[in-house]
Structure 1
Amino acid sequence: MTSTETARRPAAGRAPEGAGRVARAMSSRGLALFSETIVVSLAVAVLAIPAVTALPALAAGAAHFRRHVEGESDSLLELGRDFLRALRKGWLWGIGAAAAFAAISATLTSPLITGMPGGEVFRWASAVLGAAAAVVLLRASAEWTAGCPSWSALIREAADRSWRDLRGSLLLLLALGLAGVVVWMFAPLMVLVPGMLVLAGRAVVARAQ
């Protein structure tokens, strides 16, 4: 056996060990992210039970996710504080968003709309409007921070970014569609939808930064 072959043998043995460490680290981070998604999803689902608090709850969940990824304090107590901050400045937007989506849902499901002249066109227009509003609000909640001056300015900026970043908006539409499919297939999985949407929103915002 030559000295070259002897030198190669330890190197060949070290490669799988290094690869194994990388795989274990990636697996550990993936599991931590998955578990955090479930925690955020359950917390946001509970906070959004009154419906009018859904928007501040998503914002608090997104802020919690950002802190977790960046290695900052990510306790549930801090998530609750963020929720109160977002609710204090955005309660009017929360009521408006809940009322708008209730009206759009009624339009899409009411049999009376189909019987009206142009009812199908009105229904499709409502669906498009609802999807666009959902994308903007989801992006706004993902961009929210405790230092945001107002929800009005945040939503205007989110609308502008949604138009300029069409690829990101399509990704958010896809996330919303997948969330709908998950609920349609197995309704109890609805509790996991908030975490999916928060994760999608933060991913799109991080991608654009």
Structure 2
Amino acid sequence: MRNRWRTGLTDFSDCLLAGLLVALASAPVVTAAPAFAAGCRVLDRARHGLARPLWTTFWADFRQAARGGVPFALGCLAVAVLFAVDLEVAGSMAGAGVLRTALWLLAAAAAVVAVRTCAVFAAGEPSWRRAIAVAARETAASPGHALLLAGAAGLAVVLVWMLPILALVVAGPLALAAVATGGRA
């Protein structure tokens, strides 16, 4: 009983440490995707009892993911700006309620594919381009897992909105959710 409690506490602390490392590596916004992919990879390894300590393995994984991940992060940032502009424009049009709802659903789907792309790359996909295609296929093939991941991402946004300091650790549980719902674990 005591050993199970200690194992659970170790998993929880690994999750929070991974979130903190992702936040630290994401300080320059263009490195957010490689940082998240590295967080997914170290949490997957920690879940299976491999590759400790987390600190050193995270930075090695981050350097490897950063090689092609920066263009992907820039693309995600451009899509986010495009959605924000579209939401502003949709507010001034007739039928704004329906259009805004459709845009929010499309944004949620894009966020799920982006998060899952990082998890797919972390699972060993060598190319970010192929990771996007695999993530889109996995999202379409398992809508239940996609809804769970969308719920986890939505909860992360709400937690950061309610208590902004949680932005330092919320990426860890989100990375764990991405790994757990990816179908590759």
Give the alignment's TM-score, normalised by structure 1. 0.80
Change (3 A) 1:87 1:70: same
Deviation track 1:61-96 (CA, whole Å, cap 9, x = no partner) reads 011111212222233222112112111122211110
How far apart, in 1, do the equivalents of 2:100 and 2:165 lie?
28
RMSD, matched Cα:
1.9
Q: Aligned pair 1:71/2:42, yes or no? A: no
For the 8 Å contact 2:17–2:169, the answer to whether it is kept is: no
Query: What corresponds to 1:80 in structure 2?
Result: 59
SS of equivalent residue, structure 1 residue 102: helix
How far apart, in 1, do the equivalents of 2:148 and 2:114 lie?
14
Query: What corresponds to 1:28 in structure 2?
Result: 6
Give % identity.
Answer: 36
Tell me: higher relative CO, structure 1 or 2? Use CA pairs within 8 A at least 6 residues apart.
Answer: 2
Q: Aligned pair 1:96/2:75, yes or no? A: yes
Unaligned runs of 5+ in 2: none
Query: What corresponds to 2:92 in structure 1?
Result: 115
Query: What corresponds to 1:137 in structure 2?
Result: 114
For the 8 Å contact 2:20–2:169, the answer to whether it is kept is: yes
Q: Aligned pair 1:60/2:38, yes or no? A: yes
How far apart, in 2, do the equivalents of 1:82 and 1:202 lie?
15
Query: What corresponds to 1:204 in structure 2?
Result: 181
Q: State the structure with more CA Rg.
A: 1
Using the TM superposition, give the Cα deviation of residue 208 of structure 1 relative to its aligned residue in structure 2, in angstroms: 5.4
Using the TM superposition, give the Cα deviation of residue 104 of structure 1 relative to its aligned residue in structure 2, in angstroms: 1.8
Unaligned runs of 5+ in 1: 1-22
How far apart, in 1, do the equivalents of 2:82 and 2:17 lie?
30
Change (3 A) 1:145 1:183: closer
Deviation track 1:99-138 (CA, whole Å, cap 9, x = no partner) reads 1113323444x3x541233443332222111111111121
Change (3 A) 1:39 1:113: same
For the 8 Å contact 1:62–1:142, the answer to whether it is kept is: yes
How far apart, in 2, do the equivalents of 1:116 and 1:50 lie?
35
Q: How many residues align?
A: 184
Deviation track 1:3-26 (CA, whole Å, cap 9, x = no partner) reads xxxxxxxxxxxxxxxxxxxx2122
The letter of the residue matching 2:75 is: G
The letter of the residue matching 2:56 is: L
Query: What corresponds to 2:158 in structure 1?
Result: 181
Using the TM superposition, give the Cα deviation of residue 29 of structure 1 relative to its aligned residue in structure 2, in angstroms: 1.1
For the 8 Å contact 1:55–1:141, the answer to whether it is kept is: yes
